[in-house]
């Protein structure tokens, strides 16, 4: 039987993304039964037979044979004379089955059915896509860059589903062109105007965690656990790891032979520096490890306030703070403690706080935040460098230097 263009591309339905045959058959049958109800007022005596593999569909109507003058409903009953004209063997009470030609429904009915079918299939695809990616949240996926815009990048997966990589989820050093293949983590899935919006991310900490799982078998197998990650995407990250097997060095396993494992991750993250440290529940030791490569002389911890005062030799201060303050910021994020770094005061040196009567408090704080908490630590720098580090005017820096120099003049 021909169904004109009603389902001319019926075979394409079995190729639909994310939809299994059972669900598809259920939707198709529901759509055609709805059409039967509109045409015949009931679909109870119809059999809808769908074969997605062959791409065909049949609709059969079951009617009871009755006396010629006893037909009350032509949809459920057929007169004896009418049926005998087709097949003389039929008797009253028999069931007569005939196939329905839906092309006779009329152009408007056929068009309505096609629109209903297309709408239902589209809704089904959207729901299936939403469910599929909701289950993938937290997983790494690969896709191809399809379109690059100012605020986001459109990525397509292997099934041509659209994924969105917003600007805020891109590593600052990321640069994409159409056709590039990228890796990212599925961050969230939401419905916008009945359309699934799949957000992917390369800056989320979980992305770094999943990369470690891919590159370090011991993490994937559960022998090593990532306890915490502190990360400034594109710049630097600190990863605290712990081994449940005393025979396994967690840091060594993550770095790999000659840094092979960590290199792969660093390359994927656009040369983001990654420090791997041994996790410990000992707060003091954890802070010391997090500030590596700086060597701490002494440390004072306030558990209630979650603060730590760290004292180092003058040459170690810049290492603890790191370029642009990255090391100290990441250490705070990794440990959960507000860490203040101080120089060990030499016998002839004087703490900046001793000059509170002569130097404004905010200037002292600015100098301390720049890693200078003693008079000599400030005097070791040029006026220009003092002004730059503490965000001061050159005149203010000069005034500070004059005050501090006076302290050591005889």
What secondary structure does DSSP assign to 41-100, as a single string? S--TTEEEEEETTTTEEEEEEEEEEE-GGG-S-TTTEEEHHHHHTT-TT--TT-EEEEE-
Burial 158-179 (b: 16+ CB within 10 A, else e): eeebbbbbeeebbbeebeeeee
Positions of the chain with pLDDT under 70: 1-21, 52-56, 103-104, 106, 110, 345-347, 410
* Predicted TM-score of the model (pTM): 0.67
pLDDT at 6: 46
Q: What is the CATH number of domain 352-408?
A: 1.10.150
- Please, where in the chain does CATH 1.10.150 lie? 352-408
Q: Where in the chain is the domain with CATH 3.30.1480?
A: 10-132
Helix (H) or strand (E) holding 25: helix 21-40
Task: Please count the other Cβ atoms lying within 10 Å of the Cβ belonging to residue 303.
Answer: 9
Alpha-carbon distance 136 to 38, whole Å?
Answer: 41
Query: Is there a contact between 57 and 25 (Cβ–Cβ < 8 Å)?
Result: no
**H or E element: which one contains 38?**
helix 21-40
Token pair of 345, please? 């005061």
CATH 3.30.300.20 positions along the chain are 280-343
SS (H, E, C) 110-173: HHHHHHHHHHHHHHHHHHHHHHHHHCCCCCEEEEEEEEECCCEEEEECCCCCEEEEEHHHCCCC
Residue 187's pLDDT is what? 97
The per-residue DSSP string of 239-292 comes to EEEEESSTT--HHHHHH-GGGHHHHHHHHHTTS-EEEEEE--S-HHHHHHHHTT
What is the sign, positive or negative, of the torsion defined by CA atoms of 329, 334, 340, 343?
A: negative
Q: For position 345, what pLDDT does the model report? A: 64
Asked if 312 contacts 341 with a C-beta cutoff of 8 angstroms, the reply is yes
Any idea what DSSP says for residue 350? -
Encoded tokens for 314: 């003058």
Domain 10-132 listed as CATH 1.10.246:
no
HEC assignment per residue over 280-347: CCCHHHHHHHHCCCCCEEEEEEECCCCEEEEEECHHHHHHHHCHHHHHHHHHHHHHCCEEEEEECCCC
Contacts of 221 (CB under 8 A, 6+ apart): none
The pLDDT value recorded for residue 140 is 96
The pLDDT tens digits of the residues spanning 90-101 come to 899 999 998 887
Residue 317 exposed, middle or buried by CB count within 10 Å (0-12, 13-18, 19+): buried
Class of residue 112 by CB neighbours under 10 A (exposed 0-12, middle 13-18, buried 19+): middle
Residue 1: the pLDDT is 39
**Cβ contact 62:47 at 8 Å:** yes
CATH of 280-343, one of 3.40.50.2300, 3.30.300.20, 3.30.70.2860, 2.40.110.10: 3.30.300.20
Largest CA distance in the chain: 133
CATH class of the structural domain 136-203: mainly beta
Strand partners, 78: 65
């Amino acid at each position: 039987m021909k169904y004109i263009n009603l389902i001319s591309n019926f075979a394409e339905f079995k190729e639909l993304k994310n939809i299994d045959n059972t669900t598809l058959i259920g939707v198709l049958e529901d759509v055609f039964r709805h059409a039967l109800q509109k045409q015949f007022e009931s679909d109870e005596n119809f059999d809808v037979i769908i074969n997605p593999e062959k791409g065909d569909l049949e609709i059969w109507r079951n009617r009871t044979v009755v006396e010629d003058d006893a037909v009350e409903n032509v949809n459920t009953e057929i007169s004896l004379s009418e049926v005998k004209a087709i097949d003389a063997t039929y008797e009253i009470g028999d069931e007569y089955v005939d196939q329905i030609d839906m092309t006779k429904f009329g152009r408007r009915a056929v068009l309505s059915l096609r629109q209903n079918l297309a709408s239902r299939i589209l809704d089904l695809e959207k729901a299936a896509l939403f469910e599929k990616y909701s289950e993938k949240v937290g997983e790494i996926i690969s896709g191809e860059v399809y379109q690059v815009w100012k605020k986001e990048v459109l990525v397509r997966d292997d099934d041509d589903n659209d994924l969105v990589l917003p600007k805020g989820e891109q590593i600052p050093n990321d640069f994409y062109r159409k056709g590039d293949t990228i890796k990212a983590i599925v961050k969230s899935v939401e419905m916008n105007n009945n359309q699934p919006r799949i957000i992917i991310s390369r800056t989320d900490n979980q992305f770094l965690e999943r990369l470690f799982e891919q590159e370090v078998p011991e993490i994937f197998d559960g022998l090593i656990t990532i306890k915490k990650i502190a990360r400034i995407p594109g710049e630097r990250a600190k990863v605290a790891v712990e081994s449940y097997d005393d025979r396994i060095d967690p840091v060594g396993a993550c770095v790999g032979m000659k840094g092979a494992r960590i290199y792969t991750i660093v390359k994927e993250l656009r040369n983001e520096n990654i420090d791997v440290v041994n996790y410990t529940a000992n707060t003091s030791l954890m802070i010391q490890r997090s500030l590596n490569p700086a060597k701490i002389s002494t440390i004072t911890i306030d558990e209630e306030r979650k603060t730590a005062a760290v004292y180092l030799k003058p040459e170690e201060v810049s290492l603890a703070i790191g370029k642009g303050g990255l090391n100290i910021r990441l250490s705070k994020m990794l440990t959960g403690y507000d860490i203040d770094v101080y120089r060990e005061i030499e016998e002839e040196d004087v703490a900046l706080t001793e000059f509170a009567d002569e130097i404004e408090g905010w200037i002292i704080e600015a100098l301390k935040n720049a890693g200078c908490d003693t008079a000599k630590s400030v005097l070791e720098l040029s006026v220009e460098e003092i002004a730059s580090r503490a965000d001061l005017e050159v005149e203010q820096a000069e005034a500070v230097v004059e005050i501090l120099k006076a302290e050591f003049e005889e």
